[in-house]
Structure 1
Amino acid sequence: MIEKTNGTDTFNALPSEIELEFLETLLVPEDGTYPWNPADDESEAYFSELERQIATQDWLDEEINLKSPVFYGKLDSLWSEVSHNSNYKFQPNHSVVDHLQVTLNSAFADSVPPGWLNAIAQKAAGIFSSQQSMSDQLVECVQSLLPAWGIDDLLVLTRPFAHSMRSSESPDVTSIMNKVRNRDWINLSEIEQAKISVAIAYYAFKQLNSSVSED
């Protein structure tokens, strides 16, 4: 006959493994209690023995091998999200960069190395929406390609192009490029390379402005 207490059936259930471990902890002798003070001399021996016991448990290695890929996969996922959220404002849209690189190469690849054009396109797309003046944008766009040039010298070259953005007059990039067509890039003087680089950067920003206007 099953006894009832307060309307609830009572029965004897087998204790779980956790309950057994808890009871064992409560029943350990006083000299075997947990060393709450790590500074005690006996603490080191206690923890060494504990590590030894854990190391002999095969299930721990199996558990680590089973769960670690999932754990590290989650970390990689979280890190990717953090990196993306931290840097997305500074990364231009890949389609914009690709389109601009194709445009510049189609227009100037017969006179300027593709790597040079691609670098200008990448930089122009990256700083197009910044709050810098046009002169500063043009300088930043070509500065890494012309390390021997000082900022002040580059600003002198950008003035005609920066001024054109505020007026109806527009520098003729085609005429600038015609002066160096059919000449090897490496045979051009530094001043010629600098002028062409600024002109191409200006052309790139014009293309970006046109794309925004069309949208």
Structure 2
Amino acid sequence: MNNQHSPSQLSLDDASTEVELDFLSTIVLDDNTYPWNPQAPESDSYFDSLEQELPLSNLLSDAEINSTCQNFYRHTDKLWLVIDTQNALHQKFVGLAPHNLLNNLGKIAINIVEQVNRLGSTLSLSDQLVHCVNEVLPGWDLEDLEVMARPLAYSMRGDKNNAVEKTLATIESADWYDLSEVEQVRLSLAIALYAISYCQ
């Protein structure tokens, strides 16, 4: 058996050995070690030196930091609401509608409710339902959607769950793709109603 190494093999071995030695010397000989216990009094000087190297406090004022934090928290709260709403829709309408339709209706419903609350809009519930469904099923005429949304909006004055359950009871097939276009719209309106009432 021949144990001789080719010149390229030797250069690769030498390079990896050099990298390993550099790494080892950095670990062993470097005086700036990370304080594994941030609560220890001697770790304060380490963190102070890091802050001196990158003075973030000079980049933003306190007002800008507070404003940025509030925007961040508002955005994360909205993301959690989107996730909660979509999870609720998936649990309620599992197997009845495609996942992407449920996700889109959830996001649209949250945006509409947020817009109504923020702007003090007088957008009726029927109009909110039409807006939701029009974005996911854009081939429909708005007047037709309004006619189909009115019974759900009026029944919402009572119990929202009852209105959704009544709609679900009138839809015969359980598979989205077996439904007629009218049944798909009715189901989408019921899903939008459930999403709007969930995130209010």
TM category (shorter chain) comes to 0.5 to 0.7
* Contact 2:89–2:106, Cα closer than 8 Å, also in 1: yes
Q: Is residue 79 of structure 2 the alignment partner of residue 98 of structure 1?
A: no
Q: CA deviation at 1:162?
A: 1.6
Q: CA deviation at 1:173?
A: 1.7
- Unmatched tracts of structure 2, length 5 or more: 1-58
Question: 2:95 maps to what in 1?
Answer: 110
Aligned length: 134
Query: Scaled by the length of structure 1, what TM-score is found?
Result: 0.51
| Structure of greater relative contact order (alpha carbons < 8 Å, 6+ residues apart) | 2
Q: Is residue 104 of structure 2 the alignment partner of residue 119 of structure 1?
A: yes
- Unmatched tracts of structure 1, length 5 or more: 1-73, 210-215
* Contact 1:128–1:208, Cα closer than 8 Å, also in 2: yes
Which residue of 187, 190, 212 maps to 2:181?
190
The equivalences for 1:107-186 within 5 A come to: 107-129=92-114, 130=116, 131=121, 132-167=123-158, 171-178=162-169, 179-183=171-175, 185-186=176-177
Q: CA deviation at 1:94?
A: 0.3
Return the alpha-carbon distance in structure 2 between the equivalents of residues 177 and 150 of structure 1: 23
CA offsets 1:60-92 (integer angstroms, 9 cap, x no match): xxxxxxxxxxxxxx8xxx9xx99x97xx7x997
Query: Scaled by the length of structure 2, what TM-score is found?
Result: 0.55
- State the Cα RMSD in Å: 3.5
Instruction: Give percent identity, aligned residues only.
Output: 34
Could you say which structure has the larger radius of gyration?
1
**Higher helix proportion:** 2
